[in-house]
Structure 1
Amino acid sequence: MFRRKRWLFVTVVFSIALIGIVAGRWAVKTVNAQNGYEELRTFTEVLTLIKKNYVDEVKTKDLVVGAIKGMINSLDPHSSYMTPEALKELQVETKGEFGGLGIHIGIKDGMLTVIAPIEDTPAFKAGIKAGDKILKISGESTKNMGLTDAVSKMRGPKGTSVILTIFREGWKETKDFTIVRDIIKIKSVKSRMLQDGIGYIKITQFQESTGPDLSAALEKLSKEGMTSLIIDLRNDPGGLLNSAVEVTEQFLPPKKLVVYTKSKNGEKTEYFTDGEKPYTDIPMVVLVNQGSASASEIVAGALKDWNRAVIIGVQTFGKGSVQSLIPLSDGSGLRLTTAKYYTPKGTSIHGVGITPDIVVKLDVKDGKEQHRVAREKDLEGHLKNEQQKEGPEEKEMAPLEVDEKDDNQLQRAIDTIKTWRVFEKMKKAA
């Protein structure tokens, strides 16, 4: 199977949790003098005027970094500039362990917003909820603060604290949460047996170890008598593209196309399954929701296109773009959107998402807190889909937390597998 040496991001948000990293060499081309000279001359003039006339002394480096950040912020919401410190931390995060709070964040309606807290982390234990607006970080306003800066301010050594000023829908005023940082260890694969030989695997995100961890979980469940499987990708924000391929190939025969990417100049890179795997025939259901993004959508899209699994839940997030991490000469880096990805049937899901085979919305119980659902099409400056028309913006609500006994999506998955078995018996009898 052809795989690139460099890694690719396919993730929805920057987060305190692991997202992913791209490594590799990039040739940086100089700006075409004929096309860019006038613009660069204006930039130089502004820089000179500020240095000469601004009321306070300013460092040239600070002005240039500010200009770079502004330039990147004018692109899509997944491109960003990373300082050398942030880049080093991100390289550590791909291992699934780092110092921080344990929350996924994004920009919604121009405000720093909690996408989801990670279970059993300091933020989760402190009571931070999905949909919370972070107005201040240790007293500093988050207005116009980029995701990279916000992540950097919330990360830090174990035992140190940070104060998040939070506003939650339904509150009359803000509330300060003092949270002590800890070492966040992200276990990307969790597994257990449900009932009647039905195995259950939850993938929280796609990191370096996810493929091998999934293999170990499948082997363990097989020894416990697994005869069918539910893969839960709900609220999985994505991660490494190669990891998504490694997960998908556990369930498909060799040489099957999982996904392909296409750059601006039309360069196409295809990712195929590699090697014989023992789980290509086991009955499968995949659970997805509005928080299933990017790498999650690659897995769900491939299994759906190859009719390998039944997809149950609600429309996914809709992030079909790929980010590359490009190191710069001073140790900093650009996290730049460089391609779009397509499912095996050639479908771009960007801004649209994947429609489940069986649509099942979570039942909302009386008294349960809800938050407004945000998808790719709701993010400011998102790329447009050249194939499909995005749906209208809707005020869609979803519960913040669901007890397993109230999880009707999981129950529908179990019922689907049981029905599957009944039909298999009928086929054999016939």
Structure 2
Amino acid sequence: MRINRVFGVAFGILFVVLDLLVGGYILSSGKAEVTAGDDAGTWVRVFTQAFELVKQDYIDPKKTSSEKLVNAGLHQMLSKLDPHSAFLDAEDYQEFQEENRGEITGIGIVVSGIDGRLTVVSAVEDAPAAKAGILPGDQIFGIGDVNVEHKTVEDIGPLLRGPAGTNVHLRIHRPSNNSTTDVQVIREVYRVNSVRDAHVLDSRKTANFKIGYVRITEFDQPTATELAHRVDGLLADGMQGLVLDLRFNPGGLVQSAIDTCGIFLPPKSMVVYTEGRDPAAHQEFFTDAASKPRGDFPVAILVNSESASASEIVAAAMKDLHRAVIVGETTFGKGLVQAQFELPNGAGMRLTVARYFAPNRETIQERGVKPDIMSSMTRQEERALLLRQRGSFLNPDEKELVAREKDEQLDRAVDALKGLMLYKG
């Protein structure tokens, strides 16, 4: 089982990524059809009666605050729908909004329950956990003095949160080498820089073509602006082709994906469209009419099985509109759209309201985006790539692994660009 295949709850980067959010785009006020035996009023009265009985008769009044009971009910209701719909209490919802702006307080890990273990799905680069050496696949056995081996993701949230500058002690088990270690992490306010490693590749690898490289770790509000700045800098350095790396990118904001496509595609290009239960959910999304696409240079996009959601929007649009060659593995296949709703008490919810489709009218849900050039990685190669990207070397064996393993997918992307540039003449 691939450890990154399950979406979970993020702490320090709560609910980033792993879900495509369209915010105000799809906030339908239409009424769903009610079938016989499914009258909403009847079932609300059932809930209300049960709620009042619990408040009145449960033996321990400390456990029956109205807020806790309602939050628990909403959490269960949303969690039964699909893995991506969720209820967020007021604290989580505020943190979620802050994260979309790219500024976060915490340690920077995404945690999910996988095979009964609290497993780190991703560790945000340059955030406290990654700097302390925590890697995807690590399992959390303890937080502070609390054994969390039998806790849920929701249980550990309060244990991981805390003010900037405070310590959190983690007991980490690493299945890859069957080791268990204690790690001290200091909570920080950190900026998620989603556009990384912009540079011109070594000419010895590119046959003297000037091929640029940029990696996007997620799609947040500043991503497209940052990417445009980086691409302009590479063009000023004489770039002739570009590798855009979306591997291990779990997604983010749909508008960020659209604006990213606007850097490369003509104005008013349709990037994605959505269809849902309500007719109002059918919408088409285009690059900005005033966008200024950067030059006619070839682009290769790197993807793998952990490229999801907004990453798939970019890859599918650039492929379907013949602006990029896609290299790597078939992507994750998350083609569901979540709208976000704020509730009167400051809490919020994410609700799956639509499916999204590529410009060629094919769904991405459970199918993913198939690359033009297939190139797979072994687990060892994936691990070496993650270590190389994060710059986290915990021991000599891992240093040796990074030095030994090559990035075959990047090599294939470079070969594709060289071929295109030679053909173009």
TM-score where L is the length of structure 2: 0.81
> What residue is the counterpart of 1:361 in the other structure?
376
> What residue is the counterpart of 1:318 in the other structure?
333
- Equivalent in 93, 99, 105 of residue 105 of structure 2: 99
> What residue is the counterpart of 2:13 in the other structure?
17
Measure the CA separation in 2 of the matches of 1:215 and 1:370. 25
Q: Which amino acid aligns with 1:130?
A: P
Instruction: Confirm whether residue 331 of structure 1 aligns to residue 346 of structure 2.
Output: yes
* Residues 172/217 of structure 1: CA separation in 2 closer, same or farther (3 Å cut): closer
* Residues 212/368 of structure 1: CA separation in 2 closer, same or farther (3 Å cut): closer
> What residue is the counterpart of 1:424 in the other structure?
424
**How many residues of Structure 1 are paired with residues of Structure 2 in the alignment?**
385
Instruction: Confirm whether residue 161 of structure 1 aligns to residue 175 of structure 2.
Output: no
- The residue matched to 2:354 in structure 1 has which SS? strand
> What residue is the counterpart of 1:411 in the other structure?
411
Aligned runs of 1:55-74 on 2, under 5 Å?
55-57=59-61, 58-74=64-80
Aligned runs of 1:29-108 on 2, under 5 Å?
35-57=39-61, 58-108=64-114
Q: Which amino acid aligns with 1:269?
A: Q
Measure the CA separation in 1 of the matches of 2:374 and 2:181. 37
Aligned runs of 1:282-321 on 2, under 5 Å?
282-321=297-336
Aligned runs of 1:15-414 on 2, under 5 Å?
15=10, 16-17=12-13, 19=16, 23-24=23-24, 35-57=39-61, 58-138=64-144, 139=146, 141=148, 143=150, 145-146=152-153, 150-151=156-157, 153-170=159-176, 174-190=180-196, 191-194=198-201, 195=203, 196-266=209-279, 267-274=281-288, 275-279=290-294, 281-363=296-378, 406-414=406-414
Measure the CA separation in 1 of the matches of 2:127 and 2:377. 25
What 5-or-longer segments of structure 2 have no aligned partner? 1-5, 204-208, 387-400
TM-score where L is the length of structure 1: 0.81
Deviations 1:323-342 (A, max 9, x none): 11100011111111111111
- The range that moved more, 212-221 or 41-50, is 41-50
Q: Is the 8 A contact 1:102 1:124 kept in 2?
A: yes
- The range that moved more, 176-185 or 359-368, is 359-368
Identity, in percent, stands at: 38
- The range that moved more, 14-23 or 206-215, is 14-23
Q: Is the 8 A contact 1:250 1:280 kept in 2?
A: no
* Residues 155/402 of structure 1: CA separation in 2 closer, same or farther (3 Å cut): farther
Measure the CA separation in 2 of the matches of 1:143 and 1:331. 30
CA RMSD of aligned residues (A): 3.0
Pairwise CA distance, 1:27? 5.1
* Residues 370/421 of structure 1: CA separation in 2 closer, same or farther (3 Å cut): closer
Q: Is the 8 A contact 1:26 1:326 kept in 2?
A: no
Measure the CA separation in 2 of the matches of 1:316 and 1:358. 13
Deviations 1:120-174 (A, max 9, x none): 3221122211112234444163746345x65554233221122333333256575
Q: Which amino acid aligns with 1:42?
A: V
Q: Is the 8 A contact 1:290 1:315 kept in 2?
A: yes
Measure the CA separation in 2 of the matches of 1:316 and 1:97. 28
Measure the CA separation in 2 of the matches of 1:355 and 1:243. 22
Pairwise CA distance, 1:223? 0.6
> What residue is the counterpart of 2:398 in the other structure?
none
Measure the CA separation in 1 of the matches of 2:75 and 2:417. 49
Measure the CA separation in 1 of the matches of 2:338 and 2:114. 20
Q: Is the 8 A contact 2:71 2:89 kept in 1?
A: no
Which of the two has greater helix per residue?
2
